[in-house]
Structure 1
Amino acid sequence: MKLATLKDGTRDGQLAVVSRDLKTAHLADGIAPTLQKALDDWTFIAPQLDLLYQTINSGRGHRAFDFDPANCMAPLPRSSQRVAGTAYLPQIERACKAAGQDIPADLREAPRLVQGTGDAFLGAQDEIELAYEQWGIDYEAGIAVITDDVALGATADQAHMHIKLLMLVNDITLRNLQQAEQGSGYGFVQSKPAMACSPVAITPDELGDAWRGGKVHLPLRCSLNGKLTGQPQAGADMAFNYPQLLAHLCQTRSARAGSVVSGGGVANKEVKKGFSSIVERRHQELIADSVISTPYMLFGDTVRIEMPGEDGKSLFGAIEQTVKQAQTRRSR
């Protein structure tokens, strides 16, 4: 099943069911007005959404219309809990090597989690509006899961059953602000503006055999200004899978329906696969040549993030965003 949230002038938008080929959609207003409402009562609502999904895939949806990703908000426009994990250790290993440091030993034993901004996610084609290029604007391509209620103390096996949807994310990071926040000993705030999400969120069964072991075993394609920058395999070097990230989160708390948990930027040990962020390329340049030649994003730059299925067709639709200077700063 594939679900999207369409812009309707409200904060939470209008839930729609999207066809498997991403060509048509059908409003789900007779079933659930928003994705959060569906997640709150997923056991009852999901079968009804799935029936509508089967209907539009068969071409029998009498109120179906052309699907336009530009009219999409994030599938879940806001969440009470947004968490990012350190699931891809090659990314951290390169960062430590570039800095002349060893990777912390305990990082291999359990993931680290960071609380992120969840009150307003960006749609797949929303512009990245920021005040200054000097902040070090970077994209970070990853995958996030969306849950229903996960109980305090849930094991990884138990948490696995509560993963209801997956989506692609661009966890936009301001690298030149990040270092100071890391040094403060507190979490990221200024360096992590609103995250962007793919046009649709999909149920795990849409991935077929590519969803196994709590991981997505497919390449994640990243391009900057039309040039391919990486297509790392999302399942190859993931040290902690999504159920493990959820179980770690739920050691001290429950996760309510609509919690969004990502594994961090997708990274492979093999650098020939390319990178899911600019900072990773810069780290590799520093390791190989001791000189950084790749700049961070500038106003007018466009990033595209997409995941093809085993048939080569887009699974989630594409995140495609252009960096724009915030109007409030330009007017001063």
Structure 2
Amino acid sequence: MSNRRSQSVDPLIRLFREVCGDVPDLASLARMHRVSSALNLRDNDAPWSMITVLEYYARLYEAMPERIRWASEGSLEAARREVGGATDALMQQHRDALERCKATSQLAETLTQGALPIDWSEVGPPLPRAYQYLDGAAYVSHIKRNRAARKEALSDDLMEKPLVYQGISHGFFGWDDDIPLPSDALGIDFEAEIAAVTGDVPMGVTPQEACSYIRLFVLLNDVSLRALIPGELKRTFGFLTGKPASSLGPIAVTPDELGELWHDGLVGGQMLCSVRGEAVGRIDTGIDTPFHYGDLIAHVAQTRAFEPGTIVGLGTVSNEDESAGCACIGEIRALETLRDGKPSTPFFSFGDRVRIEHVGHDDQSVFGYIDQRFVPATR
């Protein structure tokens, strides 16, 4: 593990190579690091593309005197050829760098205007796979309703320790991928969530510290098979076959870009959920939970460190106010059971669709949306 990390490429080297098509020497790299420290730039800040091109020019100009001196030690004709060749090469490199600079400037302008064209059909999950996928059940009304419908008691420490399980991390579906499953008699359900993506998290981190290790947030559909889950839980060894691969929304957002939506360790706004084309929930995601993302991360980090790219879900969003609706069919059926004595809303059949979207206080989409169909699996 330590070898893999020690061999990671300096992000400035990678950027220099992408923008200029070359690898910086140690002097160039040292200058760029000085600029980074002086301006307090992060590795992904926009000015880096311009700074990289300027550094590339500086390196070319620095090399010219030595090339001319070397050429002058030979014959006059050789010097002319060398200087001429160096000049031609320099001009070509200038032209190439200028084209890259123009392209970078145009891209930056397009991004600032919010007009970058996106072919959504080509957009996959932000993380096709992760080192670790952890999912919780932090919204207490979701737990209470489901346990009450099954006539099961709540655990004594429900409000003291978050419930967390470890799911499939080696593959996530994209926002519009079909979800293949072996049978639609398995109680196919969705669970609408917002997941955090962490950087390196040290073992023993506190809940307050843990939030600072969150790098991104993304929409999550935690696919669940309700016909399998009760039997697995009764065996007291946790979820396995009842939790197949999950799906991620198309856009991951940094905490700072969420603005006022990111507060007190939670992401505010509303989760909009539709089942078979019918709206079933508009849930406030920033309330009605005793635990925030830092609590879940710290709970698991008691005995382990996290690799970068660990995904942490807070659980199916749910509000105490029943008029907000639900973010999974299981909870809808639980409320029907408590009210009518039996559930009436069916789980998904093959061909059915689910749609999940999270919006801010201005009703604008934050992470894009998930819109998926459930289909028979093929071998």
Measured against the shorter chain, the TM-score band is: 0.7 to 0.9
* Matched ranges for 1:58-69 at <5 A: 58-59=112-113, 66-69=117-120
Q: Which has the higher strand share?
A: 1
2:250 corresponding residue in structure 1: 199
Letter in 1 for 2:111: N
Q: Deviations over 1:21-72 (max 9, x none)?
A: xxxxxxxx938xxxxxxxxxxx953335998896443249xxx852133212
Q: Name the CA shift for 1:49/1:83 in 2 (closer, same or farther; >3 Å).
A: farther
Q: In 2, are the aligned partners of 1:159 and 1:247 still within 8 Å (CA)?
A: yes
SS in structure 2 of the partner of residue 293 of structure 1? coil
- 1:301 alignment partner, one of 319, 341, 352: 352
After superposition, the Cα gap between the structure-2 partners of 1:65 and 1:133, relative to the gap in structure 1 and judged at 3 Å, is same
Are 1:141 and 2:192 matched, yes or no? yes
SS of alignment partner, residue 316 of structure 1:
strand
| Contact 2:268–2:360 (Cα < 8 Å) also in 1 | no
Q: Matches of 1:90 and 1:216 in 2, distance apart? A: 18
Cα distance 1:66–1:288, how it changes in 2: closer, same or farther (>3 A)? same
Instruction: Give structure 1 regions of 4+ aligned residues with deviation exceeding 6 angstroms.
Output: 49-53
- 1:204 and 1:49 mapped to 2: Cα distance? 21
| 1:291-330 per-position Cα deviation (integer Å, ceiling 9, x unaligned) | 11011000110100001122222111110001111233xx
Query: Would you say the 8 A contact 2:110–2:116 is kept in 1?
Result: no
Aligned pairs for 1:3-42 (under 5 A) are 30=18
Structure 1 portions without partners, runs of 5+: 1-28, 32-42
Greater shift in the superposed pair: 277-286 or 65-74: 65-74
1:240 corresponds to which residue? 291
What SS does structure 2 have at the residue aligned with 1:176?
coil
- 1:46 aligns with 44
C-alpha separation in 2, matches of 1:147 and 1:173: 24
Normalising by structure 2, we get a TM-score of 0.72
Q: Structure 1 residue 186: deviation in Å?
A: 1.4
Q: Identify which range, 98-107 or 268-277, moves more after superposition.
A: 98-107
Kept in 1, the 8 Å contact 2:187–2:348? The answer is yes
Cα shift readout 1:164-193 (whole Å, capped 9, x = no counterpart): 100010000011011121122212221111
1:46 corresponds to which letter in structure 2?
N
Q: Which amino acid aligns with 1:100?
A: K
Contact 1:69 1:125 in 2 (8 A): no
Q: Which runs of 5+ in 2 are unaligned?
A: 1-16, 20-40, 50-103
Give the letter aligned to residue 219 of structure 2.
L
Q: TM-score, normalised by structure 1?
A: 0.82
Kept in 1: contact 2:356–2:369 (CA 8 A): yes
Structure 2 contact 46–108 (Cα < 8 Å) conserved: no
1:141, 1:169 within 8 Å by CA — same for their partners in 2?
yes
The alignment status of 1:276 with 2:327, answered yes or no, reads: yes
Q: Trace 1:125-274 onto structure 2 (pairs within 5 A).
A: 125-274=176-325
Q: Secondary structure at the residue paired with 2:342?
A: coil
Structure 1 equivalent of residue 123 of structure 2: 72
In structure 2, what is the Cα distance between the partners aligned to 1:54 and 1:164? Answer: 22
What CA RMSD, in Å, does the superposition of the two structures yield over aligned residues?
A: 2.2
Change (3 A) 1:49 1:236: farther
Q: Distance in 1 between matches of 2:262 and 2:192?
A: 18
Q: Structure 1 residues 279, 256: CA separation in 2 closer, same or farther (over 3 Å shift)?
A: same
The 1:217/1:139 distance shift into structure 2, 3 A limit, reads: same
Amino acid at match of 1:164: R
- TM-superposed deviation, 1:137: 0.3
Does residue 1:326 correspond to 2:377, yes or no?
yes
Deviations along 1:62-87, whole A, 9 cap, x unmatched? Answer: xx852133212210110010001121
Which stretch of the first structure deviates more once superposed, 289-298 or 48-57? 48-57
Using the alignment, how far apart are the partners of 1:310 and 1:288 within structure 2? Answer: 32
What is the identity, as a one-letter code, of the residue corresponding to 1:122?
Answer: F
Which of the pair has more CA radius of gyration? 2
Q: Number of aligned pairs?
A: 287
Amino acid of the residue matched to residue 159 of structure 1? A
Quick one: which amino acid aligns to residue 315 of structure 1? V
Residue by residue over 1:253-302, the C-alpha shift from the partner in whole angstroms, topping out at 9 and shown as x without a partner, is 11110000001100111111000000000000010110110110001101
Alpha-carbon contact 1:69-1:124 (below 8 Å) kept: no
Structure 2 distance, partners of 1:88, 1:59, is: 37
Deviation at 1:156, TM superposition (A): 1.3
Higher helix proportion (structure 1 or 2): 2
SS in 2 for 1:150: coil
* 1:221–1:50 distance in 2 versus 1, CA, 3 Å: farther
Identity %: 37
Aligned to 1:291: 342
- Give the residue type in structure 2 aligned to 1:275: C
Separation in 1 of the partners of 2:343 and 2:47? 49
Contact 1:70–1:124 (8 Å) recurs in 2: no
Q: Which amino acid is the alignment partner of residue 112 of structure 2? A: S
Of 365, 370, 373, the residue aligned with 1:314 is 365
Say whether the 8 Å CA contact 2:317–2:327 is kept in structure 1. yes
